[in-house]
Structure 1
Amino acid sequence: MKIIITGASGFTGQHACQHFSDARYEVIAITRKSEVEAKNCEVKYCDLTNQKAVLELIKATKPDYVLHLAGQNHVGDSWEDPVSSIQANMMTTIYLLDAVRKECPSCKVVIVGSALQFDVGNIATLTHPYSLSKTMQVLIAQSWSHLYGLNVVIAKPSNIVGPGRSNGVCSIFARKIMNMEQDETEQKHLEVSHLGVQRDFVDVRDVVKGYDVLFQHGKPGEIYDISSGINHSLGDVTMHLKTFTDVHFNVKSKQYGEINNPSPVNPEKISKLGWKPTIPFSASMKDTLDYYRNLS
């Protein structure tokens, strides 16, 4: 079976390409200009904000599956350039889905949303342009499924961690610790926004397996949370990382006091399809740290 993976050079994209290649899919890795490390993939370069280029891509490849990972995923950048964020997240999704509608309407598509989507019934829950762009992306996916009968499923992963290049907080901490290990002049401390901040972290390798399950069993138009179901604080993150290094470092919190943390994200819906997380949080932290060590 032929699968197109957009955002193939990104953190999750690299893992997805390797997973589906190992599972004997014919993988077409889509990137705008970066390299794709995964083996046994056909790499194609395409600017997904170009509607004509997207249509030509789908027409030429006629995929059985599309995993749409490409987009802008930085909250700070969305404040600086909201239009680009909307183009990268919403418009690329429209172009892909409409190309699928025209050229291969039986293709199954998984669109990857975000845990930072807001409640469209309450504008007060909108906190940044990134949230707007991802919420609109999901609405477009559901709308094309409803209006045109496309087989589109929406995945909503929680905070993705694990080995690979990522701008997530766990990777930032791991890179800092690796620098401490390699450079004796590096300051031996981590700065944390608030040690009590809690998030649901799920390993990237488990997430990619979840996307595979959604291709096989996900229902069109439905949204599936992919999560561990367990919250970990940033204090937990630093303590886990400390156990995997001989470097003694201090942790400095920029803020103190109570904080309102979200409840753990329940993955019950996708669990009913046969998926469950298998990689413990401690293993994710160790593998992340080892990844950056191996780069040095």
Structure 2
Amino acid sequence: MKILVTGGAGFIGSAVCRLAVSRGHQVINLDCLTYAANLANVSMLEAPNYVLEVANICDSEAVSRIFETHQPDAVLHLAAESHVDRSIAGPGQFLETNIMGTFVLLEAARAYRDGLTADRQAAFRFHHVSTDEVYGDLEPSDPAFTETTAYNPSSPYSASKAASDHLVRAWCRTYGLPVLITNCSNNYGPYQFPEKLIPVVILNALRGAPIPIYGAGDNIRDWLYVEDHADALLTVLDRGEIGETYNIGGNTERTNLELVKTICALMDRREDTTRTDHTALITFVTDRLGHDKRYAVDGSRIQSDLGWTPNTKFEDGLEKTIDWYLTRRDWWEPLIG
């Protein structure tokens, strides 16, 4: 396929680009290169199977031009503002990118598809990538989120993603746009921007800096290795049923404190760090506003319908992630100053 990937220079988007090209797909990477994007993430990709288009998904003229120029067979829409703390401090950009950007992309995709031949119209797909945060949060004893869990977003970020999910479903029902939606749990792995929890812990542990944990550290998250997520997205794009939603999880729930202690223990055993007890760096800080208690994803639908399950064990994924950050100072040092 020729796939238009939005946000392809970001953390998850670049993993999708790398995997798609390795499998013989052609990729058009549409990215406006905000702070969380990094061209180093895709520097190993080359023409003719990869091309970069620097544009904003809110720019309808540019988006329409990219559709007409490259004639994609499918869209994988990952471009989004995604950091909860930033959404609390400045929600406007999240509404603009995540809601209006998705609207512009949907309209451009609809107009483009309407001009295709009948067989290409039938094959076209618009895959919208979302988050488990749209469902709100859970108590420790609650069952995991399913695809029919009612939306109950807590932050400006999750509310903007919930709104974009609703737009995608509406364009499917009203205009017949062939859409797919996936909602994933927390991702981790190489190339993740250093403001996110796992890279913060690794890099602060490496430098001997305080490791901040919100509240008591008892918030629970399900963790998904980013390369497994990329594989799941391409699986859904290839075999998913039009109009359906698929939850993608890692089957790995941990409290934030458990997660941080696990990373610290892995760092303790490494010969390329100078400390022997990284847990001494843990520092509890004031809790985030509206901090969701627990996320957990029921991935039984994607397993039963498409045969997909995550391949990476959590501890193995953490080891690979730590290895990557410790050997790629050239990537992260310019980002943290």
Give the TM-score normalised by the residue count of structure 1.
0.89
Cα deviation code 1:106-139 (max 9, x no counterpart): 32111111112157x989x442222221111000
Q: Which residue of 2 aligns with 1:25?
A: 25
Q: Which residue of 1 aligns with 2:9?
A: 9
Q: Which residue of 2 aligns with 1:178?
A: 206
The farther-off stretch of 16-25 and 39-48 is 39-48
Q: Which residue of 2 aligns with 1:190?
A: 211
User: Identity of counterpart residues, as a percentage?
Assistant: 24
Q: Which residue of 2 aligns with 1:285?
A: 318
Q: Secondary structure at the match of 2:192?
A: coil
- The change in CA–CA distance for 1:69 and 1:243 in structure 2 (over 3 A counts) is same
Cα deviation code 1:244-279 (max 9, x no counterpart): 2232221333479xx984363110111121110010
Q: Secondary structure at the match of 2:266?
A: coil
Q: Secondary structure at the match of 1:142?
A: helix
Q: Which amino acid aligns with 2:107?
A: D
Give the TM-score normalised by the residue count of structure 2.
0.78
The one of 206, 211, 221 equivalent to 2:243 is 221
Q: Does residue 271 in structure 1 map to residue 271 in structure 2?
A: no
Is the 2:252–2:314 contact (alpha carbons within 8 Å) kept by the matching residues of 1? no
| Structural mapping, 1:97-112, within 5 Å | 97-105=106-114, 106=121, 107-112=124-129
The farther-off stretch of 94-103 and 238-247 is 238-247
Q: Secondary structure at the match of 2:133?
A: coil
Cα deviation code 1:228-255 (max 9, x no counterpart): 2331112221232133223222133347
Q: Which residue of 1 aligns with 2:78?
A: 69
Q: Secondary structure at the match of 1:95?
A: helix
Is the 2:185–2:296 contact (alpha carbons within 8 Å) kept by the matching residues of 1? no
Is the 1:155–1:226 contact (alpha carbons within 8 Å) kept by the matching residues of 2? yes
- The change in CA–CA distance for 1:237 and 1:46 in structure 2 (over 3 A counts) is same
Is the 1:162–1:288 contact (alpha carbons within 8 Å) kept by the matching residues of 2? yes
Runs of 4 or more, structure 1, over 6 Å off, are none
Which segments of 5 or more consecutive residues in structure 2 lack a partner in the other structure? 115-120, 137-148, 269-274, 330-337
Q: Which residue of 1 aligns with 2:102?
A: 93
The one of 157, 167, 175 equivalent to 1:130 is 157
Is the 2:132–2:295 contact (alpha carbons within 8 Å) kept by the matching residues of 1? no
The one of 39, 43, 51 equivalent to 1:37 is 43
Which segments of 5 or more consecutive residues in structure 1 lack a partner in the other structure? 181-186
Q: Which residue of 2 aligns with 1:235?
A: 257
Is the 1:17–1:38 contact (alpha carbons within 8 Å) kept by the matching residues of 2? no
